[in-house]
Amino acid sequence: MRKKMPTTILLVDDDPLIRVLGQELLEYLGYRVETAGDGSEALEKFQRMKRVDLVVLDYCLPRQNGCEVLKEFKILDKRARVLVASGFLSSQDMASLKQEGALGMINKPYRLKDLQHRIKAVLGGRSGF
C-alpha cells in the first residue's frame, strides 16, 4: 500500500517573522511547507518543485504585488491554487484577485482555525473567500 504524500504548500511572504510563524502553523496542521521571500523566489521554487498543492501568497510584496505574482503563477500553471494573504484588501483588490484566479483570501496575522478552514475549502474545491 502506497503512503499518501503530504499536502505541499508554498508560503510566500517578505516578512521573515511571518514566514516562520506561518510555516510553524502550517506544519502543525500537517502540511509540508516550502517558503519564499518574494515573488521571483516563489516562482522559481514553484517551477523547481515536483508538486505544489497550494500557494499562500502575501499580497504586499516588494517589486510586485500579489496580483502580479498571481498572474505569473497562472501562466506557469493555469490550475495553480492560490490563497492570498493580507492584513487589508480593498473591494477593488479583491475583485482583481478573483478575476485573476485567486481561490481565496486569508487575513493576517494568521489564526490557526481560519487558516485551517480556508486551506481545506480551497483544497476541497470550494471558495476560500
pLDDT at 4 exceeding the cut of 90? no
Residues 33-89 have pLDDT tens digits of: 999 999 999 999 999 999 999 999 999 999 999 999 999 999 999 999 999 999 888
DSSP state of 10: E
One-letter identity of residue 88: F
- If pLDDT is split at 50, 70 and 90, which confidence band does 92 have? very high
Total-model pTM: 0.94
- Only one residue has cell 522559481, namely 44
Give the per-residue pLDDT at 116. Answer: 96
SS3 content of the chain, % helix, strand, coil (to 5): 45, 20, 35
Report the distance separating Cα 71 and Cα 51, nearest Å: 19
